Homo-oligomer: A and B are copies of this chain.
Amino acid sequence: MQGTQPPTAQPAEASVDPSAYAPTDRTVPTRSADRASYDRELVHAILDEGYVCHLGFVRDGAPVVLPTLYGRVGERLYVHGSTGSRPLRTAGKTGPGLPVCVTVTHVDGLVLARSAFHHSVNYRSVVVHGTAHQVTDPEEKRAALDALVDHVVPGRAADSRPANTKELAATAVLRLDLAEVSAKLRTGGVNDEPEDLALPHWAGVVPVRREYGTPVADADLAPHTALPGYLAAL
């Protein structure tokens, strides 16, 4: 999501900065390279703010993109296998793993320019390339499931019944190392052409944010179960 300026290709350079991911050929955009970042803290912050990713994989030579839940633990991303057993079956429990691309996007604002051409969106996204492997270790799977739950609502994993052995066995989780990673951001205001500034169209940015409504308790809630603080704080 960037403007339609001509490509500004930049060479991929190996980074020696331990605070950043090393750019690779496929994490350096062919255009709007100035919007790309490899900063580890920034990548983590973008990932930690979300819980739904778009998981891409190749099936019969064609791309497939499915929404699914994810969680981050250090430099590992865990993706819920529940978007369909296809990627999980393809990844297998052993073997070379499944080439995937996992993308997380937050929209922060609508950028309304005077010209249709310069309309845009302020956003922050992270794209992770790599090979996903099925998590088979029960303890790693449990930690991954906790991370998924805590991404949805921070603090929730500790306030729920942990998965039992049967549930862990029925849960499919993919692990993807955060190695080939980039963030991309668009911030700021409109970029209209100078000759358009006098046009009578309103121009500016409309902030967009995720809001939560009043929690709706399950009808079968146990007596005296209060709304937990981490939900009231959402």
Contact = CB atoms under 8 A, between A and B. Distances in A.
Max chain B CB contacts within 10 Å: which of A5, A145, A161, A172?
A161
Max chain B CB contacts within 10 Å: which of A32, A110, A192?
A110
Interface string A89-124: 000000000011111010100101111110101010
A43 interface: no
Contacts of A4: 81-82, 167, 170-172
A74 interface: no
Given A65-B54, A101-B65, A170-B6, A1 B82 contact: yes
A129 interface: yes
A231 B202 contact: yes
Interface string A124-144: 010101000000000000000
The contact size tier of chain A is 35 or more
A220 B197 contact: yes
Given A1-B69, A2-B82, A228 B202 contact: yes
A148 interface: yes
A216 B119 CA distance: 15
Given A145-B117, A222-B200, A153 B102 contact: no
Interface in A189-204: 189-190, 192, 196-204
B221 A204 contact: yes
B200 A66 contact: no
A205 interface: yes
Given A2-B82, A31-B85, A67-B103, 12 more contacts: A56-B65, A58-B63, A63-B64, A64-B129, A65-B103, A114-B161, A116-B149, A117-B164, A202-B227, A204-B221, A207-B212, A208-B211
